[in-house]
Amino acid sequence: MAGLRARADHEGQIPVKELYESLRPNEARMLHWSAAAVAIVLWFTVAWQDPFVLLLVPVIGGTLAYLVRRSRRLDPPGEDDDFF
């Protein structure tokens, strides 16, 4: 049963990947902007019920962006990447 499910998932992903790769630049840009618009609408929909979300999401995003920039500035990628 698990093998059939994995095979069905794999077969379902191939056409989506091929569709995305076959998009022209304008179509890909439209897809990205529509996804961003949907995310914004969902964010405001949730915030309509709880206004705290309007502040919480940007604060978390800003904090993560700040931490990533600080981390990259202190230890740039590609320098001394000895993990073992």
The domain spans of the chain are 2-74
Whole-number Å distance between alpha carbons of 84 and 66 = 28
pTM assigned to the model: 0.47
Whole-number Å distance between alpha carbons of 8 and 2 = 10
Which tens digits make up the pLDDT trace of 2-57?
Answer: 544 555 555 555 677 787 788 888 988 998 999 999 998 988 888 888 888 788 88
For the segment 50-69, the average pLDDT, to the nearest whole number, is 89
Q: Is the pLDDT of residue 74 over 50?
A: yes
The answer to whether the CB of 51 falls within 8 A of the CB of 57 is: no
- Residue 75: pLDDT band (50, 70, 90) is confident
